[in-house]
């Protein structure tokens, strides 16, 4: 049932992709586009690896590994096992089928195609239907500052298993990175319905996107409400190191602290039913807040949350007078 809605969803990889699957099941390709973090991208073994773009692509194509959230279901590992036997760099597990995606992406980038273009080609080949945009075609690298010194994102996340205490984050290149023009056009559209921040890590999945100046300015200027879904439930992150990072940054690991992190960018915030008692902490000055079942284990969970979030956004669009 198309209502002429237009939504943009900002997401990282694993956690955000769950809601993305629900949103894509409810909204058609003409109603929903995705803007994805590329701060996790890195050059590895001579290949351009784009974990969040791939996690979203695999999730929307329904080929993702349900146990890890990254990589492909039914993957084989002959390449990485052989590389390890040869004494090569084996800490980042590239599956055989996944490897083909990185090779193809790298070949196309070296031939002069933009990351947006290659992303479109790969998604067309895997049969996803919704537009997926990298936050920029320009390189942006998330650097995690830790008590052990600065670490490139994948070195912190995978090689060091998120063990070092974090002290801050840097998004190298973000300040001069250009956003995709189509995304800026969508954000400036007078009929944009809403902007959804998926339940991804606010520090290393959503913040890198917001660090691109054109994107942050366009979000602020948009007529559409910005609604975030909390990745923190009952003080814990459902996936990944968000709660650990918050503790190390001396921020309470609570859903309201996530809303406070996004600050006045937000018009709406969705917390889990388990945190419903915290709704009263959102005063009149803050974003409108609702509680919903945000834990997504099954496809039905994803569909249910997406339906609630979309309805919440529509209500805010109708009622909230924008800046």
320 touching ligand FO1, by CB under 6 A:
no
61 touching ligand FO1, by CB under 6 A:
no
158 touching ligand FO1, by CB under 6 A:
yes
Site string for ligand FO1, 105-134 (x = CB under 6 A): ------------------------------
Element (H, E) at 8: strand 7-11
Interface with ligand FO1 in residues 11-30 (CB under 6 A)? 12-14
- Identify which of residues 14 and 211 has a Cβ nearer to ligand FO1 in the complex: 14
Distance, in Å, from the CA atom of 103 to the CA atom of 123, rounded to the nearest integer, reads 15
157 touching ligand FO1, by CB under 6 A:
yes
Stretch touching ligand FO1 by CB under 6 A, among 91-99, 131-139, 214-222, 287-295: 91-99
Stretch touching ligand FO1 by CB under 6 A, among 10-18, 248-256, 265-273, 294-302: 10-18
Q: DSSP labels for 82-106?
A: HHHHTT---SS---HHHHHHHHHHH
94 touching ligand FO1, by CB under 6 A:
yes
Site string for ligand FO1, 197-236 (x = CB under 6 A): ----------------------------------------
- Dig out the tokens for 215 from the structure: 């994107």
Distance, in Å, from the CA atom of 279 to the CA atom of 16, rounded to the nearest integer, reads 22
Cβ atoms 223, 322 nearer than 8 A: yes
Distance, in Å, from the CA atom of 14 to the CA atom of 20, rounded to the nearest integer, reads 10
92, 155, 223, 235: residue in contact with ligand FO1 (rule CB under 6 A): 92
- Identify which of residues 40 and 272 has a Cβ nearer to ligand FO1 in the complex: 40
Distance, in Å, from the CA atom of 174 to the CA atom of 152, rounded to the nearest integer, reads 15
Handedness of CA 24, 29, 32, 33 (dihedral sign): positive
Cβ atoms 128, 63 nearer than 8 A: no
Interface with ligand FO1 in residues 64-83 (CB under 6 A)? 70-71
Residue 179 makes CB contacts below 8 A (sequence gap 6+) with: 135, 136, 212, 214, 215, 218
Which residues would be at the binding site for ligand FO1 (CB under 6 A)? 12-14, 40, 49, 51-52, 54, 70-71, 92-94, 98, 154, 157-158
């Amino acid at each position: 049932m198309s209502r002429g809605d237009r939504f943009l969803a900002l997401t990282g990889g694993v956690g955000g992709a769950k809601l993305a699957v629900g949103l894509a099941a409810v909204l058609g390709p003409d109603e929903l586009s995705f803007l994805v973090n590329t701060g996790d991208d890195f050059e590895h073994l001579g290949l351009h690896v784009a974990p969040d773009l791939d996690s979203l692509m695999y999730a929307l194509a329904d080929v993702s590994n349900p146990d890890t959230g990254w990589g492909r279901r039914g993957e084989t590992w002959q390449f990485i096992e052989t590389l390890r036997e040869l004494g090569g760099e084996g800490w980042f597990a590239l599956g055989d089928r996944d490897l083909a995606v990185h090779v193809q992406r790298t070949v196309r980038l070296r031939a002069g195609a933009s990351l947006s273009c290659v992303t479109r080609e790969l998604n067309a080949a895997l049969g996803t239907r919704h537009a997926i945009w990298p936050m920029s075609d320009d390189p942006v690298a998330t650097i995690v500052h830790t008590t052990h010194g600065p670490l490139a994102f994948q070195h912190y996340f995978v090689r060091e298993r998120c063990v070092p205490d974090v002290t801050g984050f840097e998004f190298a290149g973000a300040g001069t990175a250009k956003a995709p023009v189509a995304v800026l056009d969508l954000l400036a559209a007078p009929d944009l319905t809403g902007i959804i921040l998926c339940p991804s890590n606010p520090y290393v999945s959503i913040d890198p996107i917001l660090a691109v100046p054109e994107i942050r300015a366009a979000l602020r200027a948009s007529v559409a409400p910005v609604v975030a879904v909390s990745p923190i439930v009952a003080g814990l992150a459902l996936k990944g190191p968000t709660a650990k990072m918050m503790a190390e940054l001396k921020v309470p690991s609570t859903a309201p602290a996530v809303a406070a992190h996004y600050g006045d960018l937000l018009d709406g915030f969705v917390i889990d039913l388990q945190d419903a008692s915290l709704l009263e902490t959102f005063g009149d000055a803050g974003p409108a807040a609702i509680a919903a079942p945000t834990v997504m284990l099954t496809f039905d969970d994803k569909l249910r949350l997406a339906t609630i979030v979309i309805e919440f956004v529509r209500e805010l669009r109708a009622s909230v007078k924008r800046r």
